[in-house]
Chains A and B, each alone.
Chain A
Amino acid sequence: MKKLIESIVAKPVKPGMVGDGFRVFNYIPRGGITQRRISPFLMLDFNAAFDFGPSDHIRGVDVHPHKGFETVTIAYQGSVAHYDSAGSSGVINPGDVQWMTAGNGILHKEFHEESFSKKGGLFEMVQLWVNLPKKDKSVAPHYQALTAENMGKLVLDNNQGQVNIIAGGTAGVNGPASTYTPINLFDIQLNSGGTFTTSIPSTHNTALLIVNGHIEVNGAEAAEHSFVLFKNEGDEISIQANTKSVILLLSGEPINEPIASYGPFVMNTDAEIREAIIDFNMGKFGYLE
C-alpha cells in the first residue's frame, strides 16, 4: 500500500543565519513537525543553493558544543572544513556526508573551506540532527567521514538517475553509515521523467525534502524546496521527477523517550541538560581554539 501523505510544507518564507556561513531554511522542528512527531530527527536546516561570493574572510560557525545526539552534514555544492576538540579535522566536499556522533560531548567548528571561500560559488548543504537513544547518549564522540565514492549506489535503468544510499538500504544496496537506531537516508538524483519506488516501514517517521526540481510523489505534486511528511500508514513511496530533481529521503524508527533540549544539547531530562551545561562550562568537552 502506498504511504499516505500527511502534509506538504512549502519553503519557510525567511532564511536564518547560522554563524555567518550558513544561510538556512529550517524545516524541523516547525509547526506541526515537532521533534516528537518526526523522531529520531531533531532538526533539519537546508542551505538552499546560495552564492556568498568570493571572500578572504572565511565564513562559518565558530566553536560550539554538542551533546546527546548526532549531526549529519550533507554537502551538495561547496566545501566545508571542520575541526573538533578531539583533534580531528577534515573537509566535506560535494557528495560527501559527515556523520558526527556528539555522544558524551564535543566542541567543534565549521567553516567554508578556504579555497572555496576565496573562489566563491554555489553553496548547498543540509544539516540534520539525529537523536540518540538514552543508552547511547554517553558514547565517546566520533565521526564517520562518508565520501561520495563510498556511498551505496543504486543506478536506475534507462538513464532515469541514481540513488546514493547514505544510511539504511533499498533494493539490496546499503549505505555506509552506521546508525544507533534504524534510519534510511537516501540522496535521490532523478533525470526528468525518471521514477524511483521504494518501500519504507510504516512504523518509520518518513519525509522528503525536494532539494532541487519538481516531483510527483504518491499522486501529489511537490515543488522545489518543499517538504513532504508522510503518515505512518502504508509503506510504498513512488517518486516521478517532472524535471531533473534531487530529493533527500529521511526515515527512522521513532525513539519513544522524553526529549529535553537546550540549544546544542539534547538529553532526556532537564536535570541532564543542567548537568550538560555545567560539564561544557567546566571544560569536560575539551578545548578548541
Chain B
Amino acid sequence: MQAFENYLKHHTPITGEQFTVLKQELKEKNYPKGRILLHEGESTNVSYFVCKGLLRAYTLDNQGKEHTIQFAPENWWLGDRNSFYFKEPAAFNIDVLEDSEVVIVSKNFLDSAMELCPDFGKYNVYLLHNSIRYMQRRINQLLAASAEERYLDFIRLYPKLTLRISQIMIASYLGITPESLSRVRKELARRNSYL
C-alpha cells in the first residue's frame, strides 16, 4: 500500500488525509506466482496496481496458444476495461508471473479520488492518453514493424523484463515465434558483442 501511496503522491497533489479516506476503497493482496486473477469471459469490478512483482494480460487462441497483451511490473496498472468500465465479459486473462504484492482498485476508488482531488482526475486522463498512445504504436508495430524493431521497442519500454521472463513469453508479446526472437538476439549480438 505504501508503494501505491508514494506513487499517487509523486504524480498528483493528493494529501495524506485524502489518501487515508480513499484507502477504504482499496485492498492489499499478495498473490503467488501462477495464480490466475481473471479469466476471459468473467466479469470484474476491479483493476490492479502492482507494488511488487509482475502481472500479465493475455488471450488464448483456438489452438491454445498464448498472446500477451501487456506486462505490468512495479508501478504499472492492469485491468480489463471491457469488464471494469463497460460491464461486459472480460476480454483478457490476467495471471501472476512472479509472487506479487498488488493493490486492488475499485471503480468507487477512482470516482471518490476524482471528487476529492480533481488533479487525480487530470492525471487519470493523462494515463489514459499515454496508454492509447502506446497502444497505437503497438498496433502499428504489429502491422508494419520488423521483428527486430518490435524487440528494440520492447527493451525500451520494459528494460528489466528480459531478466525476469522467458523468451517464449517475450515472443508472445511481440507476435513473433521464439525462433525469430532468437534470430533477432543473435543478430544484435553479432553486431554489438564486445566478446
Contacts and interface: CB of A to CB of B under 8 A. Distances in A.
* Co-complex (A, B): yes
Interface of A: 64-65, 85-86, 104-106, 140-141, 262-264, 274, 277-278, 280-287, 289
A106 B163 contact: no
Nearest to B186: A287
A280 B190 CA distance: 13
B159 A86 contact: no
A286 B193 contact: yes
Prevailing SS type, chain B contact patch:
helix
A284 B193 contact: yes
B162 interface: yes
Nearest to A104: B194
28 contacts: A64-B163, A65-B163, A85-B189, A86-B195, A104-B194, A106-B195, A141-B195, A263-B163, A264-B163, A274-B159, A277-B159, A277-B160, A277-B162, A277-B163, A280-B163, A283-B186, A283-B190, A283-B191, A283-B192, A284-B193, A284-B194, A285-B189, A285-B193, A286-B189, A286-B193, A286-B195, A287-B185, A287-B190
A282 B194 CA distance: 11
A287 B163 contact: no
A280 B195 contact: no
Contact of B192 (A65, A284, A289): A284
What class of interface size applies to chain B in its complex with A?
10 to 19
B21 interface: no
Contacts of B191: 283
Contacts of A106: 195
B188 interface: yes
B99 to A, nearest CB: 12
B190 to A, nearest CB: 7
Nearest to A105: B194
Contacts of A264: 163
B162 A287 contact: no
Closest 6 A-B residue pairs measured CB to CB?
Answer: A283-B188, A283-B189, A287-B189, A281-B155, A286-B195, A286-B193
A263 B161 CA distance: 11
A278 B159 contact: yes
A249 B43 CA distance: 58
Given A277-B162, A280-B162, A283-B192, 8 more contacts: A140-B195, A262-B160, A283-B187, A283-B193, A284-B193, A284-B194, A286-B193, A289-B182
Given A85-B195, A104-B194, A106-B195, A282 B160 contact: no
B122 to A, nearest CB: 30
A285 B195 contact: yes
Nearest to B154: A281
Contacts of A104: 194
A59 to B, nearest CB: 17
Interface in B138-195: 155, 159-160, 162-163, 182, 185-195
Given A287-B185, A287-B186, A281 B193 contact: no
A283 B185 contact: yes
Contacts of A274: 159
A286 B194 CA distance: 7
A260 B187 CA distance: 30
A259 B65 CA distance: 42
A288 B124 CA distance: 43
A67 to B, nearest CB: 11
A267 to B, nearest CB: 14
A286 B189 CA distance: 5
Contact of A281 (B159, B182, B186, B194): B159
Nearest to A84: B195
Nearest to A265: B163
Contacts of B186: 283, 287
A285 B188 CA distance: 10
B159 A287 contact: no
Nearest to A289: B182
B193 A287 contact: yes
Q: Which residue of B160, B182, B187, B191 has the most chain A CB atoms within 10 A of its CB atom?
A: B160
